[in-house]
Chains A and B, each alone.
Chain A
Amino acid sequence: MREVAVLGVGQTRFGELWDLSFREIGIEAGLQALVDARLSSKDLGALYLGNMASGSLIDQEHIAPLILDYAGLAYRHLPAMRVEGGGASGALALHQGYLAVASGQYDYVVVGGAEKLTDVPDATATQIAASTADHEWEVVFGATLPALWGLVARRYMHLYGARREDLARVSVHAHEMGAKNPNAHYRNRLTVEQVVGAPPIAEPLGVLDCAPFSDGAAAVVLGPLDEARRHTDTPIRIAASEVACDTMALQHRREVTSVEATVAAARQAFARARRAPADVQVAEIHDAYSICPLIGLEDLGFVERGRAGPEFSSGRFGSGGRPTINPSGGLKAQGRPFGAVGVAQVVELVRQLRGEAKDRQVAGARLGLAHDLGGTGATSVVHLLERAS
Protein backbone atom coordinates (compact mmCIF):
# COMPACT_ATOMS: atom_id res chain seq x y z
CA MET A 1 0.00 0.00 0.00
CA ARG A 2 1.38 3.42 -0.90
CA GLU A 3 0.88 6.70 0.92
CA VAL A 4 -2.00 8.88 -0.28
CA ALA A 5 -2.26 12.67 -0.27
CA VAL A 6 -5.02 15.21 -0.81
CA LEU A 7 -3.87 17.38 -3.72
CA GLY A 8 -6.86 19.60 -4.29
CA VAL A 9 -10.14 20.63 -2.71
CA GLY A 10 -13.40 22.22 -3.83
CA GLN A 11 -16.72 23.06 -2.26
CA THR A 12 -19.94 24.87 -3.11
CA ARG A 13 -21.63 27.07 -0.59
CA PHE A 14 -24.07 25.14 1.61
CA GLY A 15 -27.67 26.16 2.08
CA GLU A 16 -30.98 26.36 0.27
CA LEU A 17 -29.54 26.54 -3.24
CA TRP A 18 -32.85 26.85 -5.10
CA ASP A 19 -31.11 28.21 -8.20
CA LEU A 20 -28.79 25.22 -8.58
CA SER A 21 -29.54 21.62 -9.56
CA PHE A 22 -27.92 18.48 -8.17
CA ARG A 23 -25.68 18.06 -11.21
CA GLU A 24 -24.63 21.72 -11.12
CA ILE A 25 -23.44 21.58 -7.52
CA GLY A 26 -21.78 18.22 -8.12
CA ILE A 27 -19.64 19.41 -10.98
CA GLU A 28 -18.89 22.80 -9.39
CA ALA A 29 -17.15 21.18 -6.43
CA GLY A 30 -15.37 18.56 -8.56
CA LEU A 31 -14.01 21.01 -11.11
CA GLN A 32 -12.78 23.35 -8.35
CA ALA A 33 -10.86 20.43 -6.84
CA LEU A 34 -9.31 19.47 -10.20
CA VAL A 35 -8.15 23.06 -10.79
CA ASP A 36 -6.86 23.34 -7.22
CA ALA A 37 -4.84 20.13 -7.71
CA ARG A 38 -3.40 21.40 -11.00
CA LEU A 39 -4.38 18.01 -12.40
CA SER A 40 -4.96 17.41 -16.08
CA SER A 41 -8.16 15.45 -16.49
CA LYS A 42 -6.30 12.98 -18.72
CA ASP A 43 -4.46 11.80 -15.59
CA LEU A 44 -7.69 11.10 -13.74
CA GLY A 45 -8.38 7.44 -12.95
CA ALA A 46 -11.81 7.32 -11.35
CA LEU A 47 -14.63 9.20 -9.62
CA TYR A 48 -16.15 8.20 -6.29
CA LEU A 49 -19.35 9.97 -5.29
CA GLY A 50 -20.83 9.95 -1.80
CA ASN A 51 -24.59 10.41 -1.75
CA MET A 52 -27.28 9.29 0.67
CA ALA A 53 -30.61 9.36 -1.09
CA SER A 54 -30.73 10.89 -4.57
CA GLY A 55 -33.45 8.44 -5.61
CA SER A 56 -35.82 9.67 -2.92
CA LEU A 57 -34.69 13.29 -3.02
CA ILE A 58 -34.45 14.04 -6.75
CA ASP A 59 -35.88 10.86 -8.36
CA GLN A 60 -32.48 10.09 -9.82
CA GLU A 61 -30.36 7.03 -9.13
CA HIS A 62 -27.19 6.15 -11.06
CA ILE A 63 -25.73 9.55 -10.30
CA ALA A 64 -22.00 8.84 -10.51
CA PRO A 65 -21.95 8.63 -14.33
CA LEU A 66 -24.33 11.61 -14.38
CA ILE A 67 -21.80 13.82 -12.60
CA LEU A 68 -18.94 12.35 -14.65
CA ASP A 69 -20.90 13.15 -17.80
CA TYR A 70 -21.64 16.78 -16.91
CA ALA A 71 -18.06 17.24 -15.72
CA GLY A 72 -17.16 16.63 -19.37
CA LEU A 73 -15.49 13.28 -18.80
CA ALA A 74 -17.98 10.82 -20.30
CA TYR A 75 -16.04 10.34 -23.54
CA ARG A 76 -13.03 9.21 -21.51
CA HIS A 77 -15.18 6.36 -20.15
CA LEU A 78 -13.71 6.68 -16.67
CA PRO A 79 -15.11 4.46 -13.93
CA ALA A 80 -17.54 6.38 -11.68
CA MET A 81 -19.09 4.85 -8.58
CA ARG A 82 -21.60 6.00 -5.96
CA VAL A 83 -20.96 5.11 -2.32
CA GLU A 84 -23.79 5.12 0.25
CA GLY A 85 -23.64 4.96 4.04
CA GLY A 86 -26.43 7.27 5.23
CA GLY A 87 -25.03 10.53 6.56
CA ALA A 88 -21.53 9.05 6.36
CA SER A 89 -21.72 8.53 2.58
CA GLY A 90 -19.14 11.21 1.79
CA ALA A 91 -16.61 9.88 4.29
CA LEU A 92 -17.17 6.35 2.99
CA ALA A 93 -16.56 7.54 -0.57
CA LEU A 94 -13.31 9.08 0.62
CA HIS A 95 -12.34 5.76 2.18
CA GLN A 96 -12.95 4.02 -1.16
CA GLY A 97 -10.95 6.63 -3.07
CA TYR A 98 -8.13 6.33 -0.55
CA LEU A 99 -8.04 2.54 -0.96
CA ALA A 100 -8.04 2.84 -4.73
CA VAL A 101 -4.99 5.11 -4.77
CA ALA A 102 -3.21 3.27 -1.95
CA SER A 103 -3.62 -0.04 -3.75
CA GLY A 104 -2.17 1.33 -6.97
CA GLN A 105 -5.34 0.62 -8.95
CA TYR A 106 -5.60 4.31 -9.87
CA ASP A 107 -3.07 7.12 -9.52
CA TYR A 108 -5.47 10.04 -9.26
CA VAL A 109 -9.12 10.00 -8.24
CA VAL A 110 -11.76 12.61 -7.51
CA VAL A 111 -13.88 11.95 -4.45
CA GLY A 112 -17.04 13.99 -4.34
CA GLY A 113 -19.98 14.22 -2.00
CA ALA A 114 -23.25 15.84 -3.01
CA GLU A 115 -26.80 16.06 -1.76
CA LYS A 116 -29.84 18.09 -2.80
CA LEU A 117 -32.26 18.25 0.15
CA THR A 118 -34.43 21.24 -0.66
CA ASP A 119 -36.13 19.85 -3.77
CA VAL A 120 -38.49 18.01 -1.35
CA PRO A 121 -40.57 19.43 1.55
CA ASP A 122 -38.99 19.35 5.03
CA ALA A 123 -41.33 16.58 6.25
CA THR A 124 -40.23 14.37 3.36
CA ALA A 125 -36.56 15.09 4.05
CA THR A 126 -37.18 14.19 7.71
CA GLN A 127 -38.64 10.86 6.65
CA ILE A 128 -35.77 10.16 4.24
CA ALA A 129 -33.22 11.03 6.92
CA ALA A 130 -35.04 8.67 9.33
CA SER A 131 -34.54 5.85 6.84
CA THR A 132 -30.86 5.82 7.84
CA ALA A 133 -32.10 4.38 11.16
CA ASP A 134 -33.93 1.02 11.22
CA HIS A 135 -37.20 1.56 9.37
CA GLU A 136 -38.89 -1.66 10.51
CA TRP A 137 -38.09 -1.45 14.24
CA GLU A 138 -37.70 2.27 14.94
CA VAL A 139 -39.33 4.48 12.30
CA VAL A 140 -42.52 2.42 11.98
CA PHE A 141 -43.19 3.12 15.66
CA GLY A 142 -42.93 6.89 15.21
CA ALA A 143 -39.21 7.51 15.71
CA THR A 144 -37.38 10.16 13.69
CA LEU A 145 -33.63 10.74 13.63
CA PRO A 146 -33.88 13.66 16.11
CA ALA A 147 -36.16 11.49 18.31
CA LEU A 148 -33.50 8.77 18.45
CA TRP A 149 -30.79 11.30 19.29
CA GLY A 150 -33.20 12.81 21.83
CA LEU A 151 -33.29 9.39 23.51
CA VAL A 152 -29.52 9.38 23.57
CA ALA A 153 -29.41 12.93 24.99
CA ARG A 154 -31.89 12.15 27.77
CA ARG A 155 -30.01 9.02 28.78
CA TYR A 156 -26.67 10.83 28.65
CA MET A 157 -27.95 13.65 30.87
CA HIS A 158 -29.43 11.06 33.27
CA LEU A 159 -26.19 9.06 33.57
CA TYR A 160 -23.64 11.87 33.65
CA GLY A 161 -25.49 14.93 34.88
CA ALA A 162 -24.90 16.96 31.73
CA ARG A 163 -27.13 20.02 31.66
CA ARG A 164 -29.47 21.35 28.99
CA GLU A 165 -27.12 24.35 28.73
CA ASP A 166 -24.19 22.07 27.86
CA LEU A 167 -26.11 20.85 24.81
CA ALA A 168 -27.02 24.42 23.90
CA ARG A 169 -23.37 25.49 23.98
CA VAL A 170 -22.60 23.01 21.21
CA SER A 171 -24.89 24.95 18.87
CA VAL A 172 -23.62 28.31 20.12
CA HIS A 173 -20.07 27.16 19.34
CA ALA A 174 -21.03 25.95 15.86
CA HIS A 175 -22.61 29.26 14.92
CA GLU A 176 -19.67 31.19 16.38
CA MET A 177 -17.43 29.30 13.95
CA GLY A 178 -19.88 29.32 11.04
CA ALA A 179 -20.09 33.11 11.22
CA LYS A 180 -16.54 33.19 9.78
CA ASN A 181 -17.20 30.72 6.95
CA PRO A 182 -18.45 32.27 3.70
CA ASN A 183 -19.78 28.86 2.55
CA ALA A 184 -21.88 28.32 5.67
CA HIS A 185 -25.64 27.82 5.59
CA TYR A 186 -26.00 29.92 8.77
CA ARG A 187 -23.69 32.80 9.67
CA ASN A 188 -25.69 34.24 12.55
CA ARG A 189 -24.54 33.92 16.14
CA LEU A 190 -26.70 32.26 18.81
CA THR A 191 -27.02 32.58 22.57
CA VAL A 192 -27.60 29.74 25.04
CA GLU A 193 -30.96 31.31 25.88
CA GLN A 194 -32.02 31.25 22.23
CA VAL A 195 -31.12 27.57 21.87
CA VAL A 196 -32.83 26.51 25.11
CA GLY A 197 -35.90 28.60 24.34
CA ALA A 198 -36.33 27.45 20.73
CA PRO A 199 -39.37 25.30 19.81
CA PRO A 200 -38.89 21.63 20.76
CA ILE A 201 -38.32 18.96 18.09
CA ALA A 202 -37.72 15.85 20.21
CA GLU A 203 -37.09 16.75 23.83
CA PRO A 204 -34.61 17.63 25.15
CA LEU A 205 -33.59 18.67 21.61
CA GLY A 206 -35.07 21.83 20.14
CA VAL A 207 -34.93 23.21 16.63
CA LEU A 208 -31.61 24.97 17.35
CA ASP A 209 -30.04 21.71 18.55
CA CYS A 210 -30.57 20.24 15.08
CA ALA A 211 -28.51 20.83 11.94
CA PRO A 212 -30.49 22.11 8.95
CA PHE A 213 -31.29 20.32 5.71
CA SER A 214 -28.89 21.86 3.19
CA ASP A 215 -27.94 21.52 -0.44
CA GLY A 216 -24.26 21.34 -1.20
CA ALA A 217 -21.30 19.50 -2.62
CA ALA A 218 -17.63 19.07 -1.81
CA ALA A 219 -14.78 17.30 -3.58
CA VAL A 220 -11.14 16.37 -3.15
CA VAL A 221 -8.48 15.08 -5.53
CA LEU A 222 -6.36 12.24 -4.16
CA GLY A 223 -3.06 11.01 -5.52
CA PRO A 224 0.13 9.22 -4.47
CA LEU A 225 2.12 11.16 -1.86
CA ASP A 226 5.31 10.54 -3.90
CA GLU A 227 3.91 12.61 -6.76
CA ALA A 228 2.26 15.23 -4.59
CA ARG A 229 4.90 17.95 -4.90
CA ARG A 230 4.20 18.17 -8.62
CA HIS A 231 0.72 19.40 -7.77
CA THR A 232 0.94 21.38 -4.58
CA ASP A 233 3.46 22.98 -2.23
CA THR A 234 1.49 21.74 0.76
CA PRO A 235 0.44 18.13 0.23
CA ILE A 236 -1.78 16.80 2.99
CA ARG A 237 -1.14 13.15 3.77
CA ILE A 238 -4.03 10.87 4.72
CA ALA A 239 -2.50 9.33 7.83
CA ALA A 240 -5.50 7.06 8.45
CA SER A 241 -8.87 6.24 6.90
CA GLU A 242 -10.92 3.91 9.05
CA VAL A 243 -14.52 2.71 8.93
CA ALA A 244 -16.40 0.80 11.63
CA CYS A 245 -20.01 -0.34 11.88
CA ASP A 246 -22.45 -1.27 14.62
CA THR A 247 -26.06 -2.41 15.05
CA MET A 248 -28.52 -0.66 12.76
CA ALA A 249 -30.97 0.19 15.55
CA LEU A 250 -30.11 2.25 18.60
CA GLN A 251 -32.11 -0.20 20.74
CA HIS A 252 -29.57 -2.96 20.10
CA ARG A 253 -26.52 -1.02 21.28
CA ARG A 254 -24.91 -2.21 24.46
CA GLU A 255 -24.96 1.37 25.74
CA VAL A 256 -26.75 4.14 23.88
CA THR A 257 -24.54 6.90 25.29
CA SER A 258 -21.51 5.74 23.32
CA VAL A 259 -21.17 5.10 19.60
CA GLU A 260 -18.99 2.02 19.71
CA ALA A 261 -18.32 2.22 15.97
CA THR A 262 -16.58 5.54 16.61
CA VAL A 263 -14.54 4.06 19.45
CA ALA A 264 -13.41 1.26 17.11
CA ALA A 265 -12.69 3.50 14.11
CA ALA A 266 -10.77 6.02 16.23
CA ARG A 267 -8.69 3.34 17.94
CA GLN A 268 -7.71 1.88 14.57
CA ALA A 269 -7.02 5.31 13.08
CA PHE A 270 -4.73 6.44 15.90
CA ALA A 271 -2.92 3.09 15.88
CA ARG A 272 -2.37 3.20 12.12
CA ALA A 273 -1.09 6.78 12.24
CA ARG A 274 0.93 6.09 15.41
CA ARG A 275 -0.66 9.16 17.00
CA ALA A 276 -2.80 9.93 20.01
CA PRO A 277 -5.80 12.24 20.49
CA ALA A 278 -3.51 14.75 22.25
CA ASP A 279 -1.58 15.17 18.95
CA VAL A 280 -4.64 16.60 17.15
CA GLN A 281 -4.94 20.39 16.84
CA VAL A 282 -8.10 20.59 14.73
CA ALA A 283 -11.08 18.25 14.41
CA GLU A 284 -14.28 18.23 12.40
CA ILE A 285 -16.75 16.24 14.50
CA HIS A 286 -20.21 15.08 13.49
CA ASP A 287 -22.72 17.45 15.10
CA ALA A 288 -26.04 16.84 13.37
CA TYR A 289 -27.64 17.06 16.84
CA SER A 290 -26.09 18.87 19.79
CA ILE A 291 -25.66 15.64 21.75
CA CYS A 292 -23.56 14.08 18.96
CA PRO A 293 -20.24 15.90 19.45
CA LEU A 294 -20.37 15.49 23.25
CA ILE A 295 -20.50 11.73 22.82
CA GLY A 296 -18.17 11.97 19.83
CA LEU A 297 -15.46 13.78 21.82
CA GLU A 298 -15.59 10.96 24.40
CA ASP A 299 -15.67 8.14 21.84
CA LEU A 300 -12.74 9.68 19.94
CA GLY A 301 -10.69 9.84 23.13
CA PHE A 302 -10.47 13.62 23.48
CA VAL A 303 -12.21 13.66 26.84
CA GLU A 304 -13.03 11.23 29.64
CA ARG A 305 -16.40 9.43 29.54
CA GLY A 306 -19.19 11.63 30.90
CA ARG A 307 -17.05 14.77 31.06
CA ALA A 308 -17.70 16.30 27.64
CA GLY A 309 -20.57 18.52 28.81
CA PRO A 310 -18.68 20.56 31.40
CA GLU A 311 -15.44 20.44 29.37
CA PHE A 312 -17.27 21.78 26.33
CA SER A 313 -18.99 24.50 28.36
CA SER A 314 -15.63 25.54 29.81
CA GLY A 315 -14.59 26.51 26.28
CA ARG A 316 -11.94 23.82 25.97
CA PHE A 317 -12.81 23.06 22.33
CA GLY A 318 -13.14 26.63 21.10
CA SER A 319 -10.51 28.74 19.33
CA GLY A 320 -7.09 27.73 20.60
CA GLY A 321 -8.69 24.58 22.01
CA ARG A 322 -7.30 21.11 22.55
CA PRO A 323 -8.35 20.45 19.86
CA THR A 324 -10.35 23.24 18.23
CA ILE A 325 -13.46 21.56 16.89
CA ASN A 326 -15.57 22.35 13.86
CA PRO A 327 -13.89 25.55 12.63
CA SER A 328 -16.10 25.18 9.53
CA GLY A 329 -19.18 25.64 11.69
CA GLY A 330 -19.88 21.91 11.55
CA LEU A 331 -23.10 20.39 10.31
CA LYS A 332 -25.05 22.74 12.55
CA ALA A 333 -23.87 26.02 11.02
CA GLN A 334 -21.97 25.20 7.84
CA GLY A 335 -24.87 22.93 6.91
CA ARG A 336 -25.89 19.36 6.44
CA PRO A 337 -26.06 18.16 2.84
CA PHE A 338 -25.86 14.55 4.02
CA GLY A 339 -23.65 12.86 1.41
CA ALA A 340 -21.41 15.92 1.09
CA VAL A 341 -20.66 16.27 4.80
CA GLY A 342 -17.80 13.78 5.13
CA VAL A 343 -15.97 15.27 2.15
CA ALA A 344 -16.60 18.86 3.30
CA GLN A 345 -15.08 18.03 6.69
CA VAL A 346 -11.88 16.98 4.93
CA VAL A 347 -11.94 20.04 2.66
CA GLU A 348 -11.97 22.19 5.82
CA LEU A 349 -9.14 20.18 7.40
CA VAL A 350 -7.02 20.53 4.26
CA ARG A 351 -7.54 24.30 4.29
CA GLN A 352 -6.62 24.39 7.98
CA LEU A 353 -3.52 22.22 7.55
CA ARG A 354 -2.38 24.25 4.54
CA GLY A 355 -2.82 27.43 6.58
CA GLU A 356 -5.38 28.79 4.11
CA ALA A 357 -8.38 29.08 6.43
CA LYS A 358 -8.12 32.87 6.73
CA ASP A 359 -9.86 34.34 9.79
CA ARG A 360 -10.95 30.92 11.05
CA GLN A 361 -7.40 29.51 10.88
CA VAL A 362 -6.43 27.27 13.80
CA ALA A 363 -2.89 28.30 14.72
CA GLY A 364 -0.26 25.60 14.39
CA ALA A 365 -2.59 23.00 12.86
CA ARG A 366 -0.52 20.00 11.70
CA LEU A 367 -2.74 17.01 12.48
CA GLY A 368 -6.48 17.03 11.84
CA LEU A 369 -9.26 14.54 12.49
CA ALA A 370 -12.58 14.13 10.68
CA HIS A 371 -15.44 12.12 12.17
CA ASP A 372 -18.64 11.33 10.30
CA LEU A 373 -21.66 9.24 11.31
CA GLY A 374 -24.45 7.49 9.46
CA GLY A 375 -27.86 7.17 11.16
CA THR A 376 -27.43 6.82 14.91
CA GLY A 377 -23.92 5.47 14.47
CA ALA A 378 -24.34 2.21 12.57
CA THR A 379 -21.52 3.60 10.42
CA SER A 380 -18.69 5.73 11.75
CA VAL A 381 -15.74 6.97 9.73
CA VAL A 382 -12.57 8.55 11.10
CA HIS A 383 -9.89 10.19 8.96
CA LEU A 384 -6.57 11.59 10.16
CA LEU A 385 -4.85 14.12 7.93
CA GLU A 386 -1.37 15.48 8.38
CA ARG A 387 0.59 18.24 6.75
CA ALA A 388 3.46 16.46 5.00
CA SER A 389 6.80 17.83 6.15
Chain B
Amino acid sequence: MSIARFWRETPRRYNLGGSKCTECGTIYFPPRAVCPACTRHRQSIEKMVPFQLSGSGEVLSYTVVHEAAEGFEMQVPYVIALVKTDEGPVLTGQVVDVEPDRVAIGLKVHATFRKLREEGKAGVIHYGYKFAPVDEPDRGPPSGPPAAAVPASSGARDRAPA
Protein backbone atom coordinates (compact mmCIF):
# COMPACT_ATOMS: atom_id res chain seq x y z
CA MET B 1 0.00 0.00 0.00
CA SER B 2 1.35 3.45 -0.81
CA ILE B 3 2.20 5.75 2.11
CA ALA B 4 -0.23 8.40 0.88
CA ARG B 5 -3.12 5.96 0.92
CA PHE B 6 -2.73 5.32 4.63
CA TRP B 7 -1.50 8.80 5.55
CA ARG B 8 -4.58 10.56 4.16
CA GLU B 9 -6.80 8.66 6.61
CA THR B 10 -4.74 9.50 9.71
CA PRO B 11 -7.19 12.09 11.11
CA ARG B 12 -9.81 9.33 11.21
CA ARG B 13 -7.68 6.34 12.13
CA TYR B 14 -5.57 8.18 14.73
CA ASN B 15 -8.06 10.64 16.19
CA LEU B 16 -11.54 9.27 15.44
CA GLY B 17 -12.57 12.32 13.45
CA GLY B 18 -16.10 11.75 12.19
CA SER B 19 -18.82 14.04 10.94
CA LYS B 20 -22.24 15.29 11.98
CA CYS B 21 -25.22 16.22 9.85
CA THR B 22 -26.45 19.64 10.92
CA GLU B 23 -29.80 18.93 9.24
CA CYS B 24 -30.79 15.91 11.36
CA GLY B 25 -28.01 15.60 13.95
CA THR B 26 -26.87 12.10 13.00
CA ILE B 27 -23.17 11.40 13.62
CA TYR B 28 -21.02 9.37 11.22
CA PHE B 29 -17.72 7.58 11.30
CA PRO B 30 -15.85 7.71 9.01
CA PRO B 31 -17.04 11.17 7.95
CA ARG B 32 -19.49 11.41 5.08
CA ALA B 33 -20.16 14.08 2.48
CA VAL B 34 -23.89 13.31 2.37
CA CYS B 35 -26.26 12.15 5.10
CA PRO B 36 -27.99 8.83 4.32
CA ALA B 37 -30.49 9.35 7.16
CA CYS B 38 -31.91 12.65 5.94
CA THR B 39 -35.21 12.17 4.17
CA ARG B 40 -34.35 15.08 1.93
CA HIS B 41 -30.98 13.58 1.05
CA ARG B 42 -29.81 16.49 -1.11
CA GLN B 43 -30.42 19.04 1.66
CA SER B 44 -27.59 17.52 3.70
CA ILE B 45 -24.92 18.26 1.09
CA GLU B 46 -22.54 20.84 2.56
CA LYS B 47 -24.36 20.58 5.91
CA MET B 48 -21.94 17.96 7.24
CA VAL B 49 -19.47 19.27 9.84
CA PRO B 50 -16.51 17.58 11.56
CA PHE B 51 -17.31 15.74 14.76
CA GLN B 52 -14.89 14.12 17.19
CA LEU B 53 -15.85 10.76 18.71
CA SER B 54 -14.95 10.19 22.37
CA GLY B 55 -13.80 6.62 21.75
CA SER B 56 -16.13 5.16 24.38
CA GLY B 57 -18.54 2.42 23.50
CA GLU B 58 -19.62 -1.15 24.01
CA VAL B 59 -19.22 -4.42 22.16
CA LEU B 60 -22.19 -5.11 19.89
CA SER B 61 -20.72 -8.38 18.59
CA TYR B 62 -17.30 -10.03 18.44
CA THR B 63 -15.43 -12.88 16.82
CA VAL B 64 -12.15 -14.58 17.65
CA VAL B 65 -10.15 -14.73 14.43
CA HIS B 66 -7.92 -17.76 13.89
CA GLU B 67 -7.27 -17.41 10.15
CA ALA B 68 -5.75 -13.96 9.91
CA ALA B 69 -6.03 -11.23 7.37
CA GLU B 70 -2.78 -10.41 5.56
CA GLY B 71 -0.31 -8.74 7.92
CA PHE B 72 -2.12 -10.00 11.03
CA GLU B 73 -0.73 -13.57 11.00
CA MET B 74 1.46 -12.96 14.08
CA GLN B 75 -1.52 -11.76 16.13
CA VAL B 76 -3.80 -14.85 16.01
CA PRO B 77 -5.99 -15.54 17.78
CA TYR B 78 -7.26 -11.96 17.90
CA VAL B 79 -10.66 -10.48 18.64
CA ILE B 80 -12.51 -8.36 16.08
CA ALA B 81 -15.58 -6.54 17.36
CA LEU B 82 -18.33 -4.24 16.28
CA VAL B 83 -18.20 -1.43 18.85
CA LYS B 84 -21.20 0.85 19.22
CA THR B 85 -19.80 4.19 20.32
CA ASP B 86 -21.59 6.41 22.84
CA GLU B 87 -22.24 8.91 20.03
CA GLY B 88 -23.90 6.29 17.82
CA PRO B 89 -21.58 5.16 15.04
CA VAL B 90 -20.47 1.52 15.04
CA LEU B 91 -16.76 0.85 14.43
CA THR B 92 -14.97 -2.36 13.47
CA GLY B 93 -11.76 -2.99 15.37
CA GLN B 94 -9.72 -5.31 17.52
CA VAL B 95 -10.38 -5.71 21.23
CA VAL B 96 -7.04 -5.99 23.06
CA ASP B 97 -5.57 -6.14 26.57
CA VAL B 98 -8.05 -8.84 27.51
CA GLU B 99 -8.21 -12.61 27.06
CA PRO B 100 -10.52 -13.47 24.14
CA ASP B 101 -12.74 -15.58 26.41
CA ARG B 102 -13.44 -12.52 28.60
CA VAL B 103 -14.87 -10.52 25.70
CA ALA B 104 -18.67 -10.45 25.67
CA ILE B 105 -21.51 -8.56 24.04
CA GLY B 106 -22.10 -5.44 26.15
CA LEU B 107 -18.46 -5.15 27.33
CA LYS B 108 -17.58 -1.46 27.85
CA VAL B 109 -14.52 -0.50 25.85
CA HIS B 110 -12.52 2.59 24.96
CA ALA B 111 -10.48 3.32 21.86
CA THR B 112 -6.73 3.11 22.25
CA PHE B 113 -4.01 4.07 19.78
CA ARG B 114 -2.00 1.07 18.58
CA LYS B 115 0.07 -0.40 15.81
CA LEU B 116 -2.26 -2.28 13.47
CA ARG B 117 0.24 -4.10 11.25
CA GLU B 118 3.53 -3.84 9.38
CA GLU B 119 3.96 -4.36 5.68
CA GLY B 120 7.12 -6.44 5.97
CA LYS B 121 10.53 -5.11 7.02
CA ALA B 122 10.66 -2.09 4.70
CA GLY B 123 6.98 -1.32 4.30
CA VAL B 124 4.56 1.06 5.96
CA ILE B 125 3.66 0.53 9.62
CA HIS B 126 -0.07 1.03 10.01
CA TYR B 127 -1.34 2.68 13.20
CA GLY B 128 -4.90 3.23 14.27
CA TYR B 129 -7.51 2.50 16.88
CA LYS B 130 -8.12 -0.70 18.77
CA PHE B 131 -10.38 -1.09 21.76
CA ALA B 132 -9.55 -2.03 25.35
CA PRO B 133 -11.92 -2.79 28.23
CA VAL B 134 -12.52 0.30 30.39
CA ASP B 135 -11.89 -1.60 33.60
CA GLU B 136 -8.38 -2.52 32.48
CA PRO B 137 -5.42 -0.29 33.42
CA ASP B 138 -4.53 0.64 29.83
CA ARG B 139 -7.24 2.98 28.72
CA GLY B 140 -7.96 6.56 27.83
CA PRO B 141 -8.50 8.42 24.61
CA PRO B 142 -6.20 7.86 21.66
CA SER B 143 -2.98 9.46 22.82
CA GLY B 144 0.00 11.12 21.23
CA PRO B 145 -0.16 9.79 17.69
CA PRO B 146 2.91 10.26 15.52
CA ALA B 147 2.56 12.87 12.81
CA ALA B 148 2.02 10.35 10.05
CA ALA B 149 2.19 6.71 9.14
CA VAL B 150 5.92 6.27 8.67
CA PRO B 151 7.73 3.45 6.93
CA ALA B 152 9.60 1.00 9.10
CA SER B 153 12.95 1.76 7.49
CA SER B 154 14.45 5.04 8.67
CA GLY B 155 15.73 5.74 5.15
CA ALA B 156 12.20 6.17 3.88
CA ARG B 157 11.10 8.19 6.91
CA ASP B 158 12.31 11.48 5.40
CA ARG B 159 10.02 11.04 2.43
CA ALA B 160 6.93 10.36 4.50
CA PRO B 161 4.33 13.06 4.14
CA ALA B 162 3.77 14.81 7.46
Q: Which residues of A contact B (CB under 8 A)?
A: 123-124, 126-127, 130, 136-144, 146-148, 150-155, 158, 199-205, 247, 249-252, 256
B128 — which chain A residues lie within 8 A by C-beta? 140-141
Q: By the criterion CB–CB under 8 Å, are B94 and A142 in contact?
A: yes
Contacts A141-B94, A151-B81; A130 near B61 (Cβ below 8 A): no
B150 — which chain A residues lie within 8 A by C-beta? none
Contact of A151 (CB < 8 Å), options: B13, B80, B126: B80
Contact of B67 (CB < 8 Å), options: A126, A140, A153, A204: A126
Minimum CB distance partner of A138 in chain B: B92
Contacts A154-B105, A251-B91; A140 near B126 (Cβ below 8 A): yes
Q: By the criterion CB–CB under 8 Å, are A139 and B69 in contact?
A: yes
Contacts between the two chains (Cβ within 8 Å), count: 104
Q: How far is the CA of A200 from the CA of B91 in the complex (A)?
A: 24
10 contacts between A and B (CB under 8 A): A141-B80, A141-B128, A142-B69, A142-B75, A142-B80, A155-B61, A155-B82, A200-B77, A202-B67, A205-B63
Q: By the criterion CB–CB under 8 Å, are B92 and A249 in contact?
A: yes
Q: By the criterion CB–CB under 8 Å, are A252 and B65 in contact?
A: no
Contacts A127-B69, A137-B30, A141-B92; A150 near B63 (Cβ below 8 A): yes
B157 within 8 A of A: no
Give chain B interface residues in 7-50, CB to chain A under 8 Å: 9, 13, 30, 36
B78 within 8 A of A: yes
Q: How far is the CA of A155 from the CA of B61 in the complex (A)?
A: 5
Give the Cβ gap from A357 to chain B, nearest Cβ, in Å. Answer: 34
Contact of A146 (CB < 8 Å), options: B67, B72, B105, B117: B67
Contact of B70 (CB < 8 Å), options: A123, A148, A251: A123
Minimum CB distance partner of A156 in chain B: B61
Give the Cβ gap from A185 to chain B, nearest Cβ, in Å. Answer: 19
Nearest first, the 4 closest Cβ-Cβ pairs linking A and B are: A150-B63, A155-B61, A203-B64, A251-B90
B30 — which chain A residues lie within 8 A by C-beta? 136-137
Minimum CB distance partner of B71 in chain A: A142
Give the Cβ gap from B72 to chain A, nearest Cβ, in Å. Answer: 5
Minimum CB distance partner of B5 in chain A: A136
A126 — which chain B residues lie within 8 A by C-beta? 67, 69-70
Contact residue range for chain B? 35 or more
Q: By the criterion CB–CB under 8 Å, are A147 and B61 in contact?
A: no
Minimum CB distance partner of B104 in chain A: A158
Minimum CB distance partner of A253 in chain B: B90
Give the Cβ gap from A322 to chain B, nearest Cβ, in Å. Answer: 31
Contact of A136 (CB < 8 Å), options: B9, B64, B129: B9
Q: By the criterion CB–CB under 8 Å, are B66 and A202 in contact?
A: yes
B51 within 8 A of A: no
Contacts A137-B92, A142-B65, A251-B91; A151 near B82 (Cβ below 8 A): yes
Contact of B61 (CB < 8 Å), options: A123, A136, A144, A152: A152
Q: By the criterion CB–CB under 8 Å, are A147 and B65 in contact?
A: yes
B126 — which chain A residues lie within 8 A by C-beta? 140
Give the Cβ gap from A124 to chain B, nearest Cβ, in Å. Answer: 8
B77 — which chain A residues lie within 8 A by C-beta? 200
B93 within 8 A of A: yes
A130 — which chain B residues lie within 8 A by C-beta? 69
A124 — which chain B residues lie within 8 A by C-beta? 70
Q: How far is the CA of A142 from the CA of B130 in the complex (A)?
A: 10
Q: By the criterion CB–CB under 8 Å, are A144 and B69 in contact?
A: yes
Q: By the criterion CB–CB under 8 Å, are A142 and B67 in contact?
A: no
Q: How far is the CA of A199 from the CA of B78 in the complex (A)?
A: 15
B70 — which chain A residues lie within 8 A by C-beta? 123-124, 126-127
B4 — which chain A residues lie within 8 A by C-beta? none
